[in-house]
Structure 1
Amino acid sequence: MGSMGELQTRIRTRSIVRDAQIALELTKLAKARDDHVWLTLSTDRKAERDPERLVRETFNGRADVEPLVLKVQSYERARVHAICKDLGLEHESTDAPVVLDALSFTADRWLVLGLNAGDVFRKVADIRREARRRQAELEEEREAAAREREAQARARHAAVDLTGDWTITCPYLEEHMDGQPAELSMRIWRDTAAHVYPSPDEPDSEDEDGYADEEEEKEEASSRVQQQTAEPIQRTPAEQRYYATFDFSVVAGIMRISGPVASGKQKACAMTYRWRGRETGERVIEVGSDERLLEIAFSERGTTLSGDFEGDCVGKVSFTGVKAEAGDYRQGSSEYEWKDLSARSYERECVGRWGRRF
């Protein structure tokens, strides 16, 4: 790098003229680079980068130029208007044809510049016609999409959907308790849990976590299903599983519903169910209720139902129901509620209530 004295000598003998020449060369190189890039830009990009240069290059000294359409930011419009006044150009702004972005219809604001008012007027008219055409086209696309969604929804609901909230009618259960007639209800979901049951003549077995061994239940259930369930309908879809929480005034609990099965009632969709629950008075679990296999049938495309109910706290009765609110194929699992109402749970509650096991 040299000594301090050498550096000072270089500074004192530096040529100012040479520095000016270098600066001029750098300026020329930068302009050449910018000119080269400018030629590669689209009209929109030129308008964004330097609208004044674009307008002057387009109209300066020319008499046969088509109107120029610019998309400029709002803060640039006053500047472009001043350029038009300086060059004697006519100009008018108009809404551009709409485009559909991810959220909604949006429209740009375009500025039309020309050598005479007639050319500008005709160009603006063309743009507005295209804007109306595009608006109608996008509206039609939106309506077509809405129709498609509605068609898909109708197709989805064309299949019987049993899920939802139900209003239940059973005069015996409604009047069973003193006072005002009780309101009976049921809520149904598709069930993701397996429907397996303990042997009728053996208590629930438990593994280390306090619940029945699922593999043993499956083996026992497979042999019982052939004996206890009705014959399946020929050529029907695979078994469907549902569960329902119910409030029948004197008893409330959960049903496990499966099917379809053959039925003498000739309903649209006959199924069988087992239930577990509690008496609503003392909140005692009714043991053995799930040993009964009862029938429930759905009709009117899953909007009405009828069935039988039986328990120790109530004799065999019939009930009907009307869907109050659709469930839209909602699903859940009955596993934990079902286990919480088991015979083993009853024994644990007896110990807690009376201090001994029955």
Structure 2
Amino acid sequence: MAVIVALVCALIFSVSSLGNGLSSNYYEKTCPNAEAAIADAVKKAFANDKKVPAAILRMHFHDCFIRGCDGSVLLKSVGQNTAEKDGPPNVSLHAFYVIDNAKKAVEALCPGVVSCADILALAARDAVVLAGGPTWDVPKGRKDGRVSKASETRSLPGPAFNISQLQQSFSQRGLSMEDLVALSGGHTLGFSHCSSFEKRIRNFNATHDIDPTIHPGFASSLRSVCPAKNKLNNAGATMDPSSATFDNTYYKLLLQGKTLFSSDQALLTNQKTQQLVSKFASSQKAFYDAFVKSMIKMSSLNGGQEVRLDCKVVR
């Protein structure tokens, strides 16, 4: 664990200074129609699959939390190297085809100019917008990384993290407690498999079969979709009832004990984060404003070296 922490700290130190080199008009002269092409690719995918926004947003988070936002999560495993996308926390990532399609469209406009890392950052913004969330001006100029190791995905924050582990994970990446709470709002989108929350609803500890912080009725509904000794790999639950819509429902449910992960519930165990949860639950605008600020901050970390011609392989 100490090695992982040291590695993450070193990476953040090395990439933080590069984030300032990003700019909103980076492709203004070299590829002025890039953003429109990316938005069109995401929109076409969304028309066929409403789960695309959740998939792209999660993919962007998982990319940025390893080596900065360098598109390393997009690389495929080669030879003896197992890439990030095949690491245990990432095997459920999907919709990589959306980024591949966007890359092809952009390459047709301006070959070798726009990085896969920038395409993923822009696609995440477009995905949030398509799901009804806020928009923002994405700083651009990221370069694509050449290293992708599944072993490094162990440093991703997990669904069973407590508040101390969450705080440490985010602070190592230069992110604050407010960033933690705001970015957790991304859990308003998508679906989770039973394995990520099963410990909360069955055999929780020596005293309680069910996590006492979870609403009893909600726990009962989860137990019905995740039966004991479940053999259904696709069994699970949506993150919230409006899981295709980007809104502040997540925070309202969190206050009711109706969110899936222990890491969600952990936000109520610290006074500062609890206050932010209440703030975002009562004001969707406050959540949107904070989310935009935190997304720009998170996605400005970049330590890449090149612009890939194919997002799946090193140039």
Q: Could you say which TM-score interval applies, normalised by the shorter chain?
A: under 0.3
Compare CA radii of gyration and give the structure with the larger one: 1
If the length of structure 2 is used for normalisation, what is the TM-score?
0.23
- Higher strand proportion (structure 1 or 2): 1
If the length of structure 1 is used for normalisation, what is the TM-score?
0.21
